[in-house]
């Protein structure tokens, strides 16, 4: 398997089979988050293109042994929205597997109509929001040139208005943003997502995770919205088909 990984036990999506439409040696991402566990690499600002043809994904899925899964999840080594065949592949895998499809995105491309339309084909979209201003975006997510906090935030709000599936906002809390949780919650109330996922980097990276007490204090600012935190769920055991390839992507805190 070159492009499919897992299944992994996800604290948000149950048993999830990962699909990596980028599948390059280096991550392909227009962010370089301080806590990224795929590995740190300069954020790239390149136009969308096909990295892995849709037929190759379908071929691997057809060769898959019998596995019980809850979701097919587009994630992996970078931002799935940078793959030009994201929408086409979402439709193809759902038809083949008859399973709900989730996409984990850093939301940087949601202000583009083509990307928003393709993401809207998924049953669940999990959009990242770790910042509350341009300065904090630069500090935490290290975006490629031209990416603005306002573009991301307005893109998510606009997507919320049109999207009929489940929109979850994923927020990674780290020492740099923990004192701004109230401001961040106000932004999220305006989006009015179906769910807020409150995370902290528990897997090894260069950033220390927040304690359970700190995360539960932060959760308090989101009262009135459906929330789930990484400390609420007991992590299940991963039983991937391909251990090494899964580890390359599973390092990512997003999955
Ligand atoms: S955590 Fe996700 S969005 Fe952030 S740099 Fe890594 S792959 Fe990109």
Asked if CATH classification 3.20.20.70 holds for the domain at 4-234, the reply, yes or no, is yes
DSSP 31: -
Kindly report whether the peptide bond that precedes residue 7 is cis, defined as omega within 30 degrees of 0: yes
To test ligand 1's pocket by mutation, which of 24, 27, 44, 103 has the most ligand atoms within 8 angstroms of CB? 27
For residue 51 the two structure tokens come to: 């990295």
In the chain, domain spans? 4-234
Does pTM top 0.85 for this prediction?
yes
Q: Choose the most confident range, by mean pLDDT, from 9-18, 22-31, 197-206, 218-227.
A: 218-227
33 lines ligand 1 (CB under 6 A): yes
Q: Looking at residues 88-104, what average pLDDT do you find?
A: 97
pLDDT digits (tens, 9 = 90+) for 144-182: 999 999 999 999 999 999 999 999 999 999 999 999 999
Distance (angstroms) between ligand 1 centre and the Cα of 6 equals: 19
Percentage above 90 pLDDT, the chain: 78
For the beta carbon of residue 146, count every other beta carbon within 10 angstroms. Answer: 9
Q: 229 in helix, strand or coil?
A: strand
Backbone phi and psi for residue 212, each to the nearest 5 degrees, phi listed first: -60, -40
| Closest to 10 (Cα-Cα) out of 79, 130, 104 | 104
pLDDT of residue 219: 98
12 lines ligand 1 (CB under 6 A): no
CA of 252, closest atom in ligand 1:
1
Percentage above 70 pLDDT, the chain: 92
């Amino acid at each position: 398997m070159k492009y499919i990984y897992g299944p992994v036990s996800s604290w948000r999506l149950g048993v999830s089979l990962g699909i990596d439409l980028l599948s390059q040696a280096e991550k392909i991402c227009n962010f370089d988050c301080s806590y990224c566990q795929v590995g740190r690499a300069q954020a790239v600002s390149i136009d969308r293109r096909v990295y892995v043809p849709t037929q190759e994904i379908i071929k691997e899925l057809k060769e898959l042994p019998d596995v019980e899964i809850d979701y097919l999840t587009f994630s992996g080594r970078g931002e799935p929205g940078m793959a030009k065949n994201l929408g086409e592949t979402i439709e193809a895998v759902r038809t083949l597997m008859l399973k709900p499809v989730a996409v984990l995105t850093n939301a940087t491309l949601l202000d583009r109509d083509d990307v928003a339309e393709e993401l809207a084909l998924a049953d669940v979209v999990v959009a990242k929001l770790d910042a509350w201003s341009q300065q904090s975006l630069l500090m935490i997510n290290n975006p490629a040139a031209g990416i603005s906090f306002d573009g991301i935030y307005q893109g998510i709000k606009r997507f919320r208005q049109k999207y009929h599936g489940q929109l979850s906002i994923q927020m990674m809390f780290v020492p740099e943003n923990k004192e701004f949780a109230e401001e961040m919650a106000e932004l999220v109330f305006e989006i009015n997502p179906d769910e807020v996922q409150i995370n902290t980097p528990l897997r090894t990276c260069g950033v220390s995770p927040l304690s359970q007490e700190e995360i539960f204090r932060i959760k308090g600012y989101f009262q009135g919205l459906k929330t789930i935190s990484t400390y609420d769920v007991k992590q299940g055991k991963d039983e991937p088909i391909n251990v090494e390839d899964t580890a390359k992507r599973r390092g990512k805190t997003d999955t």
